[in-house]
Amino acid sequence: MVILDARNIVKVYGGSSGEGATKALDGVSLSINKGEFVAIMGPSGSGKTTLLNVLSGIDQPTSGEVSISGEEISEMSGDQLALFRRKQLGFVFQEFNLLDSLTVKENIILPMVLEKKTAADMDTKVHGLANLFEIDSILDKYPYNISGGQQQRTAVSRALVNDPAMIFADEPTGNLDSKSSAVIMECFEKIVDELSTTVLLVTHDVFAASYCHKVVFIKDGMIYSSIVKKGSRKEF
């Protein structure tokens, strides 16, 4: 079942034509199935972040259409899009983006607080995720007292609390050493395998991409090839 469908996406920064305009995406079409684990790779400046932002409704395309779970997000107003993102999508960033004034647990449940979920629901959810990602022992700590890998596992938990249809991650291992990168990629692998979540990430990191089912290569704003892996990573 197709969960994300993008057709002929063009994104131009700095006006639609003329001097100073940058065509960051030049006719990208892409389809992702539910439960797929996809990496977008490409050189710096190739349009990876722009593509992730357009596919996830953070940014609007100059032209082209994007639908997620059958809803045309490219036709939504800013408010509709913000609501859709909050309810349906989860985000993970290179810089973790945790709030330093909140504990790990408070960071994780923040999206549930915004959705006015019950305290009992929040408790069940946070303990389930903390157990899955082995962060039970740090729930009452603050982000500045835990490692980068633990911060990113907190961010992945936060991205998952409202049971999103899809997770989008921009360079999720970009600030991590290779051991923590492996742990984070195993977390994504777990949510794909055990929760059937769909994950799309952008990365420079070949090791991170090796966990994905499919790798899409982008250059100069165009997809120039993609590879689909047969079997699981563990079979190599």
Identify which of 63, 59, 66, 96 has the alpha carbon closest to the alpha carbon of residue 6: 66
33: CB partners within 8 A, 6+ apart:
1, 2, 3, 198
Nearer to ligand ADP, 47 or 143 (CB): 47
Among 1, 19, 20, 44, binds ligand ADP (CB under 6 A): 44
8 A C-beta contact, residue 23 and residue 11: yes
Nearer CB in complex with ligand ADP: 44/77: 44
CB atoms within 10 A of CB 199: 27
Size of the site for ligand ADP (CB under 6 A): 13
Of the listed pieces 48-56, 77-85, 182-190, 207-215, which binds ligand ADP according to CB under 6 A? 48-56
Asked if residue 42 binds ligand ADP (CB under 6 A), the reply is yes
Q: How far is 78 from 149, CA to CA, in rounded Å?
A: 33
* Crossing angle between the packed helical segments 119-132 and 148-160, to the nearest 10 degrees: 130
Which of these segments, 47-55, 123-131, 180-188, 228-236, binds ligand ADP (CB under 6 A)?
Answer: 47-55
Residue closer to ligand ADP (CB basis): 46 or 151:
46
Among the listed ranges 39-47, 83-91, 95-103, 155-163, the one in contact with ligand ADP (CB under 6 A) is 39-47
Residue 166 burial (CB count, 10 A): 22
> Which segments of the chain does DSSP mark as H helices, in order?
48-55, 78-88, 104-114, 119-132, 148-160, 178-195, 206-209
* Ramachandran class of 91: left when φ > 0, alpha when ψ lies in -120 to 50, beta otherwise: beta
For ligand ADP, which residue of 5, 7, 10, 13 counts as binding (CB under 6 A)?
Answer: 13
Position among 9, 12, 39, 47 found at the interface with ligand ADP (CB under 6 A): 47
- The reply to whether 15 sits near ligand ADP by the rule CB under 6 A is no
Under the binding rule (CB under 6 A), the answer on residue 9 touching ligand ADP is no
User: Which residues are CB-neighbours of 109 under 8 A, at least 6 positions away?
Assistant: 122, 125, 126, 161
| Of 8, 22, 33, 232, the one binding ligand ADP by CB under 6 A | 22
Q: Does 128 bind ligand ADP (CB under 6 A)?
A: no
Q: Which of 9, 30, 49, 98 binds ligand ADP (CB under 6 A)?
A: 49
Q: Is the Cβ of residue 21 or residue 113 nearer to ligand ADP in the bound state?
A: 21
- Examine residue 61 and tell whether it contacts ligand ADP (CB under 6 A): no
The residue from 8, 14, 123, 207 that contacts ligand ADP (CB under 6 A) is 14
CA dihedral 194, 212, 36, 83 (to 10 degrees): 90
Site residues, ligand ADP (CB under 6 A): 13-14, 22, 24, 42, 44-50, 171
